[in-house]
Amino acid sequence: MRYVVGYTENDRGRDALELATSLALTQAAGIDLVTVLDWPQDGSVAPGGVRAREALERAKEHVPDGVEVSIHVRLADSFAEGLVELADDINAGLIVIGASSNGLLRRFTVGSVANAVLHSSRVPVALAPRGYRHRSAFTRMTCAVGTRAGAEGVLEVSVESATRRGLPLRFISLVALDVHESSDSGEAINKAHQHAESVLERAARQLPENYDASVTVAHGRTIEEAIDDIDWDPGELVIVGSSRLAQNRQIFLGSTANKMLRALPVPMVVVPRDWVRTPR
């Protein structure tokens, strides 16, 4: 398994590398650290190539022993395009990027690069929250599911990912947040609990016997409030599915995932619609 990491020598790049390191330690995967430079307009050698490679070498030195790291300086019309092309070229299983450095009040602010990658990648995309510094293996995986059409396609991906890594699996039911009435109403909360039980039943049929799986019902006046009310492990990883509006095997963040993203204190992995992991 290879992880493509978009890197620039700033806080956002370090966040991405920290997340990729945690993922690699958990999965025993390799990291492909890449900086993308613009194509020179006059056909000459791209400026900054030497400095970019030196920055990648410095970053590589901080990755723990035992994690294989390759470095790449790519030329492309955009940073996002370079990341997606490299992921295709090496058959990567994941693209890892940092959130925008402009977020002040919330943990995530999706910048232009992250937004472009999210809407063009054909493999899952992992987003590191601002200031992410968890350099050890993950301890739990959480899958956010809803009841709208296509919202539970990520269930099988989460089950497979958690069992492959040997991690406890938690499902967050967002049903209460999908209705128009107050998410604190008794009817909405009752719907959420009913949905949670059905999700756990379906997951149990796919999980090994006595596997550590649980459900948390998130409810509040807003999605952000509900997310803030949930207990998060420092070593947690959240998986969400792409919106039903996405084209086949592509990503499109729906309104719920966007709101979740702004409130989460832990990394999020967005899985393309109808994505199926292939052996690597």
Q: Which tens digit of pLDDT belongs to each residue from 135-178?
A: 788 999 998 876 554 455 678 888 888 998 899 999 887 654 44
Average pLDDT over residues 48-59: 92
**What is the percentage of the chain residues whose pLDDT exceeds 90?**
37
Task: Write a three-state SS string for 186-203.
Answer: HHHHHHHHHHHHHHHHHH
Note the pLDDT of residue 110: 63
Instruction: Say yes or no: do domains 2-128 and 140-271 share a fold.
Output: yes
| pLDDT bucket at 181, cuts 50 / 70 / 90 | low
Whether the per-residue pLDDT at 280 is higher than 50: the answer is no
Whether the per-residue pLDDT at 63 is higher than 90: the answer is yes
**What is the percentage of the chain residues whose pLDDT exceeds 70?**
77
Stretch among 138-152, 224-238, 245-259 having the lowest mean pLDDT: 245-259
Whether the per-residue pLDDT at 1 is higher than 50: the answer is yes
Average pLDDT over residues 66-88: 94
Stretch among 68-82, 86-100, 173-187 having the lowest mean pLDDT: 173-187
Q: CA-CA distance, 62 to 69, in Å (whole number)?
A: 11
Whether the per-residue pLDDT at 210 is higher than 80: the answer is yes
Note the pLDDT of residue 46: 62
Radius of gyration of the chain (CA): 19
Are the C-beta atoms of 13 and 6 separated by less than 8 Å?
yes
Residue with the bigger pLDDT between 134 and 74: it is 74
Whether the per-residue pLDDT at 245 is higher than 50: the answer is no
Whether the per-residue pLDDT at 273 is higher than 80: the answer is no
257 Rama sector, left if φ>0, alpha if ψ -120 to 50, beta otherwise = alpha
Residues 6 or more apart whose CB falls under 8 angstroms from that of 10 comprise 101
Note the pLDDT of residue 152: 57
Extents of the domains making up the chain: 2-128, 140-271
Are the C-beta atoms of 30 and 23 separated by less than 8 Å?
no
Sign of CA dihedral 117, 119, 120, 122: positive
What are the DSSP E strand ranges found in the chain? 2-6, 30-38, 69-76, 94-98, 125-128, 140-145, 169-173, 213-217, 236-241, 268-271
Superfamily of domain 140-271: HUPs (3.40.50.620)
Are the C-beta atoms of 32 and 5 separated by less than 8 Å?
yes
Whether the per-residue pLDDT at 86 is higher than 90: the answer is yes
Whether the per-residue pLDDT at 246 is higher than 90: the answer is no
Tokens representing residue 118 in the block: 């999210």
Whether the per-residue pLDDT at 247 is higher than 70: the answer is no
For residue 190, the cross-strand partners are none
One-letter identity of residue 176:
A
Are the C-beta atoms of 49 and 34 separated by less than 8 Å?
no
What fold does the segment set 2-128 form as a domain? Rossmann fold (3.40.50)
Note the pLDDT of residue 104: 44
| pLDDT bucket at 183, cuts 50 / 70 / 90 | very low
Q: Is 122 helix (H, G, I), strand (E, B) or coil?
A: coil
Rounded alpha-carbon distances, angstroms, from residue 231 to 14, 223, 228: 25, 15, 8
